[in-house]
Structure 1
Amino acid sequence: MSAAVSPLTEIRTMMPAHLKAVARVERAAYNYPWSQAVFRDCLLAGYHNFVLEVGGVVTGYGIMSIAAGEAHILNLCVHPASQRMGYGRQLLNALLARTEESEAELVYLEVRPSNEAALALYETAGFSRIGIRPSYYQARNGREDAVVLAATLRAPR
């Protein structure tokens, strides 16, 4: 009998040394990716920035801001070759765990309506659709709306 050995998966704080790898994942996943400079700015801004490493290779990342009682997931991405393996949920859980240390009562995010896998992930994690941001994302044929999602973390004080 043989057993498959899963590669070690770790979520770490994103560091400047991760920026090239994060930008590679971003370019692989999106037609209109953030630049490496945008990720650097997220580090400089003090956002909650994580990388997910699988077997020592950056495979995904998550970025979230927390201010004024609200959290906003700015970007959560897993390399296309590693999607649908639970890594997105691991990153989401890491971000949500960070909100428990804050005063945040709500968490928001935007997602393309065409990204059905992401919508399913967020909805199974307790997010609800609360609105649409028209023409939010750049798309091949112009612009694409964003679905705005929110989850309540705790009752308002």
Structure 2
Amino acid sequence: MSASYRAVESLNRRVRALRGEDLPEVLEIERRGYSFPWTEGVFRDCFRPDYRLWGIQISTGLAGYAVVAYMADEAHLLNLCVATGCRRSGLARHLLRHLVGEAARDGMTRILLEVRVSNCSATGLYLAEGFVEIGLRPGYYPSSSGREDARVLSLQLAGCGV
């Protein structure tokens, strides 16, 4: 176990709903985490009744977030990001498990998401948490060399039919 893992793991962590005043921290995590980050406008547009925005708080501040859109009986995980200094610490898994539980409580039957084919650590996390690959979206993401494909993953929620 790495020292950074132990340091983050020892911090108190809790998941909470994001608020508008969290946007500066969210944008900083987003900009450091992605080559093609979402804009402030995109995040602002997500503060609506059919979306769930979750943040994972540790003693030093916001360490990550997730954005989930609810459409009929499906939840679409649009964005999950953990601050670069907190990665591989279990925070993404904790946040993912929280949003899965909330989606089930809210009556969603499954969760869908896209993940870059090159993002092996995120794909590994999702597969380890029970997601299955159901498709591929060619050229879904922008990349430095043009476009990158996305794996489409799905998680059937407990108690729901197939």
- Tell me if TM exceeds 0.5: yes
Q: Distance in 2 between matches of 1:145 and 1:97?
A: 28
Q: In the TM superposition, what are the counterparts of 1:5-16 in structure 2 within 5 Å?
A: 6-16=10-20
Q: Contact (CA 8 Å) 1:110, 1:148: kept in 2 or not?
A: yes
Distance 2:107 2:94 in 1: 22
Taking a change above 3 Å as real, the CA distance of residues 46 and 18 of structure 1, as seen in their structure-2 partners, is farther
The aligned residue for residue 30 of structure 2 is 26
- What TM-score do you get using the length of structure 2 for normalisation? 0.90
The question of whether the paired residues in 2 share the 8 Å contact of 1:21 and 1:58 is answered with yes
> Cα RMSD over matched residues?
1.6
1:131 paired residue number:
135
**Aligned equivalent of 2:52, options 48, 59, 63:** 48
Q: Is 1:98 equivalent to 2:102 in the alignment?
A: yes
Please give the secondary structure, in 2, of the residue aligned with 1:48: strand
Aligned to 1:33, what secondary structure does the other structure show?
A: coil
Return the match for 1:152 from 125, 139, 156: 156
* Identical aligned residues as a percent: 38
Distance in 1 (alpha carbons) for counterparts of 2:61 and 2:34? 19
Q: Which amino acid aligns with 2:36?
A: Y
Question: Which residue identity lines up with residue 115 of structure 2 in the other structure?
Answer: V
How many angstroms does 1:102 deviate by?
2.0
Confirm or deny: 8 A CA contact 1:8 1:56 kept in the other structure: no
Distance 2:94 2:34 in 1: 20
Give the aligned partner of residue 116 of structure 1. Answer: 120
Alignment TM-score, normalising by the size of structure 1: 0.92
Quick one: distance in 2 between partners of 1:106 and 1:38?
24
Structure 1 residue runs of 5 or longer lacking an equivalent are none
Question: Where does the alignment leave 5 or more consecutive residues of structure 2 unmatched?
Answer: 1-6
Write the distance in 1 (CA, Å) between the matches of 2:129 and 2:11: 25
* SS at structure 2 position matched to 1:95: helix
Confirm or deny that 1:70 pairs with 2:53: no
Using the TM superposition, give the Cα deviation of residue 46 of structure 1 relative to its aligned residue in structure 2, in angstroms: 4.1
1:7 shift after superposition: 1.9
Secondary structure of residue in 2 paired with 1:62: strand
How many Å apart are 1:11 and its aligned residue?
1.1
Between 1:64-73 and 1:128-137, the stretch displaced more is: 64-73
